[in-house]
Chain A
């Protein structure tokens, strides 16, 4: 609301107005555009992290491999972990949160649109910052878990980038978490009570609270590491009385909830996909929701199972063994409920459905191997072997990534207005499924045969050769499957473009009652919700035989496309989040390379926030 006097000169605070072209993306505060930017960025990082994995597998294909040096290998395995966790699976989850949560709760945007843009820009800059280390003296090489005191003594700048870069990403996650909590608590459409929310929205809420509490913990640890490395403090310096286990406690107190931050979004996706393609409501909705929340709580009480070999003593080890065993109960509840959802249904095997079924099948394996870690005396054997690598890839790849792929095939028509090819999709799924099992299945065996993690080489004669070769072949099959996905994206866009319509899958939740892709304002009229799976209930009612009967003229209750959109107030674009985030990037480099320049970074960030405060509320 600029004053009339300033209007002719156009204030420097005037809000940008572009709605198309690159500038509209740079200044956007639209949750859908931000969601797409999150997804595209995360996918680019997925390709980078995948290339690192291929290099690792090439090196380990044979004993005494000579493709990578020890230096390169250590950087690659560290960056593979950092990338897949912080730059792929987490932001992929956020991409879905961004795009879908407002649509699913019947809102026009998130609660704080500019904060949302800020989250994205900090995430992007954080990723670029960490990757730039490859060109600035070496990437992080202390493992994604960065154990002190090794991480404070490694000589290249890599772990500086780790300590500072992850703090940037943490700020992005925190801002996002606050945004989604407020959005979900406050912006639900009339009638959408908590127990009518889609499970995906529930999982977003749980994950956001986990982020809210977990990120400050890792921030403390990273801050200490940064100070130890750059300013020679002694938090982890044993000679000066520091304690290496302090790092481990802080890291895993963050690190284990982080595991659930990675998997719960995928569980949310699967809980939407399975009902739609089974033509049935989710089995035991309340149990699935409460199990998700229970995992969120119990996830805080299991961190020391990452430290069974650290010497915490028998009492602590017993306590954490018990908590680790019993977190399997709510996880099991979810599995049973998904299978219950299939029961008695009429299943359609779309690509999205296949990925969700693949998720359930693979997660069972990852869950069972997870329970074996709680058997402390045997964990002392399998910890830090490839058995653990197999376990968490069954959870994070077989779980999280399968869920994300399922979500991409499911919501693609909503995002872009056309479907992905089902034919290429089936190739994508089966190759991915085969490559995944070929890569990570044998890791169980080779781990039980005593192959440790994080070794860049191994001698001949250990009985590991065949398995490692199989794993490498599998990794390249995954790479081919990923190319099928990329090919699918391009082909489906160019030719055979199958117009999706509003509701291509005969789905259940609110986002399917509006056009594909949705207009900027999402809902011309905010829907009034009277049921869980409200859209389905607008189309069907349950007949006497417990079967679904179409409502007369059902589905016609769509939003009136002719609504005059000029009367809908939408948040205006802004370039200040970008400026504020850019200042943080400058600060990050300055901390490592030229401390006084921190002042410049802080100044830019302050100016960004200053503009943020003073820019007019709307573009007039």
Chain B
């Protein structure tokens, strides 16, 4: 083949080998699990609407791709120089050019109609929505259930089958709320209130993360949406409305004391004197699966490492290192674990 002229036979074999290996890898990987943030496998009507548009667009793109690349390769092979071939001297072909301008225009006009319709539909607020205010901060999320007097962080609980309407606010820099299997992204911009909505079909835990670059721990600003059956969700709401247990004993009591001296500056626990608002509300901290922007699994070992030096395990974390001793840290952890 003239395309490879200049390469030795060995060189050509080498190139071919690498190419085949690459294609083989591609094949095996396509069969694998697509992962918890794959948005081509949506789990709710809003995400499905977007996915439906993608399916149409992708199908058209594949057809165009195959035709145009096919014609290109055909031209490369067919019109390669060989003895006796003379290049035909022509400058264009008006008819072909007009057709090749009109066809893409019509295809795009065809795509534009469902796109604009979907934009309009998705921007309309649905009846009977559950309303949640999302405040994005470096590098975690605060959720306020506006009708319920419940405040929580990072893990958003919602019921199946009910539309969820979010108002997004930013406090420091721009962040972006995103739960791929349930909804596309919307920015939380300081000084503005943006809105978005989603709905989940099935119970389960859905993964998401901040999508607008927001500083050192942008990669660690993750989130979960935990979807319950409606009755289970009501129960969760009721539990969240309870204040934290006031009296604790043993190491936990010691931990509470330390907490009320240092951590109160930023954290709130309903039913106690802790009323700080710059950090996450910890009233039912022990009921959460993760902490620190859904970065760590909520267990004693992770909590110890975190409290010991937050910025060390999460770059740029705003929670200070109070220089607590190992024993004091254990006590605080013991207290946090009582906050069911």
Which A residues lie at the B interface, using CB under 8 A? 69-71, 74, 142-143, 147, 149-150, 153-154, 238, 242-245, 278-287, 309-311, 313-314, 317-318, 321-322, 325-326, 328-329, 332-333, 335-337, 339-340, 342-349, 354, 357, 360-361, 364-365, 368-369, 371-372, 374-385, 422-423, 425-427, 430, 434, 438, 442, 445, 448-458, 461-464, 466-467, 470, 542, 545-548
Contact between chains at A318 and B116 (CB < 8 Å): yes
11 inter-chain pairs at a CB distance below 8 angstroms, sorted by A residue, are: A70-B316, A150-B214, A287-B97, A326-B108, A339-B71, A343-B75, A378-B51, A381-B39, A381-B184, A457-B219, A546-B88
B301 at the interface (CB under 8 A from A): no
Contacts of A147 in B (CB 8 A): 173-174, 212-213
* Complex alpha-carbon distance, A71 and B217, angstroms: 9
The 10 closest A-B pairs by CB, nearest first: A450-B37, A380-B184, A463-B35, A455-B219, A311-B194, A279-B87, A344-B88, A238-B191, A70-B315, A377-B50
How many whole Å from A509's CB to the nearest CB in chain B? 16
B32 at the interface (CB under 8 A from A): yes
Q: Answer whether A70 and B69 are a contact pair too, CB < 8 Å, given A343-B75, A345-B88.
A: no
Assuming A74-B215, A311-B187, what are 15 further A-B pairs, CB within 8 angstroms? Answer: A71-B315, A147-B173, A150-B213, A245-B192, A287-B101, A329-B105, A345-B79, A346-B87, A371-B61, A450-B35, A450-B38, A454-B213, A462-B37, A463-B33, A466-B25
- Which one of B92, B173, B192, B316 lies within 8 Å of A285 (CB-CB)? B92
Contact between chains at B213 and A311 (CB < 8 Å): no
- Which one of B64, B93, B176, B216 lies within 8 Å of A340 (CB-CB)? B93
B11 at the interface (CB under 8 A from A): yes
* Complex alpha-carbon distance, A357 and B172, angstroms: 47
* Complex alpha-carbon distance, A283 and B88, angstroms: 11
- Which one of A309, A314, A317, A451 lies within 8 Å of B37 (CB-CB)? A451
Q: Answer whether A284 and B184 are a contact pair too, CB < 8 Å, given A71-B216, A365-B65, A455-B218.
A: no
Contacts of A285 in B (CB 8 A): 91-92
* Closest chain A residue to B102, Cβ basis: A329
How many whole Å from B65's CB to the nearest CB in chain A? 6
- One digit per residue, 1 when the CB lies within 8 angstroms of any chain A CB and 0 when it does not, for chain B 99-122 equals 011001100100110011011101
Contact between chains at B92 and A284 (CB < 8 Å): yes
Contact between chains at B29 and A466 (CB < 8 Å): yes
* Closest chain A residue to B220, Cβ basis: A457
Q: Which of A238, A377, A445 has the most B CB atoms < 10 Å from its CB?
A: A377
- Which one of B49, B82, B183, B185 lies within 8 Å of A384 (CB-CB)? B185
How many whole Å from B315's CB to the nearest CB in chain A? 4
Contact between chains at A361 and B7 (CB < 8 Å): no
Contact between chains at B88 and A547 (CB < 8 Å): yes
Q: Answer whether A321 and B216 are a contact pair too, CB < 8 Å, given A285-B91, A360-B72, A547-B88.
A: no
Which of B14-22, B249-257, B265-273, B277-285 binds A? B14-22
Contacts of B190 in A (CB 8 A): 149, 238, 244
* Complex alpha-carbon distance, A153 and B90, angstroms: 59
B211 at the interface (CB under 8 A from A): yes
Number of interface residues of B (CB under 8 A): 102
Secondary structure type dominating chain A contacts: helix
Q: Which of A326, A332, A545 has the most B CB atoms < 10 Å from its CB?
A: A332
Contacts of A422 in B (CB 8 A): 6
Contacts of A364 in B (CB 8 A): 65, 68-69, 72
Contacts of B97 in A (CB 8 A): 284, 287, 333, 336-337, 340
Contacts of B11 in A (CB 8 A): 427
* Complex alpha-carbon distance, A339 and B77, angstroms: 12
Within 8 A of A (CB), among B1-19: 2-7, 11, 15, 18-19
* Complex alpha-carbon distance, A335 and B71, angstroms: 11
Contacts of B123 in A (CB 8 A): 313-314
- Which one of A153, A326, A458, A470 lies within 8 Å of B219 (CB-CB)? A458
* Complex alpha-carbon distance, A545 and B168, angstroms: 70
- One digit per residue, 1 when the CB lies within 8 angstroms of any chain A CB and 0 when it does not, for chain B 291-325 equals 00000000000000000000000011000000000
How many whole Å from A87's CB to the nearest CB in chain B? 21
* Closest chain B residue to A369, Cβ basis: B61
* Closest chain A residue to B73, Cβ basis: A361
B127 at the interface (CB under 8 A from A): no
Contact between chains at A427 and B119 (CB < 8 Å): no
B149 at the interface (CB under 8 A from A): no
Within 8 A of A (CB), among B30-60: 32-40, 47, 49-51, 53-54, 57-58
Contacts of A347 in B (CB 8 A): 76, 79-81
Contacts of B54 in A (CB 8 A): 372, 375, 378, 381
* Complex alpha-carbon distance, A445 and B25, angstroms: 13
Contacts of A430 in B (CB 8 A): 4, 7, 15
Contacts of A357 in B (CB 8 A): 72, 76
How many whole Å from B7's CB to the nearest CB in chain A? 5
Contacts of A466 in B (CB 8 A): 25, 29, 32
Contact between chains at B185 and A383 (CB < 8 Å): yes
Contact between chains at B219 and A70 (CB < 8 Å): yes
Contacts of B68 in A (CB 8 A): 335, 339, 364
* Closest chain A residue to B168, Cβ basis: A311
How many whole Å from A601's CB to the nearest CB in chain B? 32
* Closest chain B residue to A457, Cβ basis: B219
* Complex alpha-carbon distance, A421 and B90, angstroms: 32
* Closest chain B residue to A147, Cβ basis: B174
* Complex alpha-carbon distance, A378 and B90, angstroms: 43
Contact between chains at A309 and B186 (CB < 8 Å): yes
Contact between chains at A377 and B173 (CB < 8 Å): no
* Complex alpha-carbon distance, A337 and B94, angstroms: 11
Contact between chains at B189 and A310 (CB < 8 Å): yes
Contact between chains at A149 and B217 (CB < 8 Å): no
Contact between chains at B315 and A448 (CB < 8 Å): no
Contacts of A335 in B (CB 8 A): 68
How many whole Å from B196's CB to the nearest CB in chain A? 8
How many whole Å from A374's CB to the nearest CB in chain B? 7
* Closest chain B residue to A542, Cβ basis: B89
Q: Which of A455, A470, A546 has the most B CB atoms < 10 Å from its CB?
A: A455
Contact between chains at B7 and A329 (CB < 8 Å): no
- Which one of B18, B36, B100, B186 lies within 8 Å of A380 (CB-CB)? B186
B163 at the interface (CB under 8 A from A): no
How many whole Å from B298's CB to the nearest CB in chain A? 15
Contact between chains at B116 and A322 (CB < 8 Å): yes
* Closest chain A residue to B71, Cβ basis: A339
Contact between chains at A321 and B112 (CB < 8 Å): yes
* Complex alpha-carbon distance, A545 and B90, angstroms: 11
- Which one of A150, A154, A448 lies within 8 Å of B38 (CB-CB)? A448
* Closest chain B residue to A447, Cβ basis: B39
- Which one of B39, B96, B218 lies within 8 Å of A454 (CB-CB)? B218
Contacts of B178 in A (CB 8 A): 452
* Complex alpha-carbon distance, A343 and B85, angstroms: 12
Contacts of A369 in B (CB 8 A): 61
* Complex alpha-carbon distance, A546 and B189, angstroms: 63
* Closest chain A residue to B64, Cβ basis: A368
Contacts of B34 in A (CB 8 A): 449, 463
Q: Answer whether A546 and B194 are a contact pair too, CB < 8 Å, given A326-B105, A381-B50, A454-B213.
A: no
* Complex alpha-carbon distance, A74 and B214, angstroms: 11
How many whole Å from A447's CB to the nearest CB in chain B? 10
* Closest chain B residue to A338, Cβ basis: B72
Contacts of B154 in A (CB 8 A): none
* Complex alpha-carbon distance, A379 and B184, angstroms: 8
B159 at the interface (CB under 8 A from A): no
- Which one of A342, A378, A542 lies within 8 Å of B184 (CB-CB)? A378
Contact between chains at A318 and B120 (CB < 8 Å): yes
- Which one of A281, A361, A381, A451 lies within 8 Å of B185 (CB-CB)? A381
* Closest chain B residue to A279, Cβ basis: B87
Contacts of B36 in A (CB 8 A): 450, 461-463
Contact between chains at A450 and B112 (CB < 8 Å): no
Contacts of B119 in A (CB 8 A): 314, 317-318, 321, 376-377
